[in-house]
């Protein structure tokens, strides 16, 4: 079993900003089928759209969101925007769980902010797995160490919603790391919300 969180890349992404399209090429048919199933079953106005696919040639054509800003490009001056976006982020993650999937690699670069309508898009479902899949049954899996629990990083246990909620808590801590009272109060409120719903 291989942890692909570091050096192994199993896809190549080609972006055509003029046509607002991106094409993702995969090394193995298994990966494209899993990502395609996750994207189609979790289809939503807050999930990246699949426009076309070819399993034999191993590519997905995905929507490209011009002028979007990945959250990893946010600075501390955008804390207020992040606070406003967080309910939408939680909502789309819960939607994926309700559809039977975990995203598996929630991190700032996989969440896009669309300034034109102040919405978000969840992208890159390459680490997605169906809820309940045992990691020991996977030949390899993907994660980002800073946003992964020990269980996810070590490849133990099963894929479950709390894997994503752990990453959300890490996101909150990363973006809201200052000490103003409204930030501390908001963090306490969000933790209470997540714990109440047994999300963590």
Which residues, other chains included, contact 130 with Cβ-Cβ below 8 Å and sequence gap of 6+?
A: 100, 101, 159
What CATH architecture applies to the domain 2-6+67-196?
A: Orthogonal Bundle (1.10)
Angstrom distance (rounded) from CA 12 to CA 3: 18
DSSP string, 28-39: SHHHHHHHHHHH
For the chain, the structural domain boundaries read 2-6+67-196
pLDDT in the model for residue 27: 85
pLDDT at 8: 42
**pLDDT confidence of residue 139:** 79
pLDDT tens by residue, the chain, 200 residues: 444 443 345 668 887 767 777 999 998 888 899 999 999 999 999 999 999 999 999 999 999 998 999 999 988 778 889 989 999 999 999 999 999 999 999 999 999 999 999 999 999 999 999 999 999 898 788 889 999 999 999 989 999 999 999 999 998 888 877 555 545 555 566 656 665 555 54
Give pLDDT, residue 6: 37
Q: SS3 of 117, please?
A: coil
Q: Please report the pLDDT score of residue 197 as a whole number.
A: 58
Q: What angle do CA 50, 22, 4 make, to 5 degrees?
A: 85
């Amino acid at each position: 079993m291989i942890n692909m969180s570091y050096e192994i890349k199993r896809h190549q992404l080609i972006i055509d900003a003029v046509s607002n399209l991106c094409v993702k090429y995969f090394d193995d048919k298994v990966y494209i089928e899993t990502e395609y199933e996750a994207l189609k079953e979790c289809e939503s106005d807050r999930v990246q759209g699949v426009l076309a696919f070819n399993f034999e040639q191993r590519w997905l054509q995905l929507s490209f969101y011009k002028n979007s800003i990945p959250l990893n490009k946010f600075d501390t001056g955008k804390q207020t925007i992040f606070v406003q976006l967080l309910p939408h982020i939680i909502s789309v993650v819960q939607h994926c769980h309700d559809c039977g999937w975990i995203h598996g690699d929630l991190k700032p670069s996989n969440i896009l902010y669309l300034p034109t309508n102040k919405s978000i898009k969840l992208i890159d479902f390459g680490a997605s797995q169906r809820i309940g899949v045992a990691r020991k049954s996977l030949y390899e899996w993907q994660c980002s160490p800073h946003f992964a629990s020990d269980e996810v990083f070590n490849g133990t246990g099963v894929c479950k919603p709390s894997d994503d909620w752990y990453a959300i808590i890490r996101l909150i801590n990363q973006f809201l790391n200052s000490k103003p009272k409204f930030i501390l109060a908001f963090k306490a409120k969000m933790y209470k919300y997540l714990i109440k719903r047994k999300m963590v």
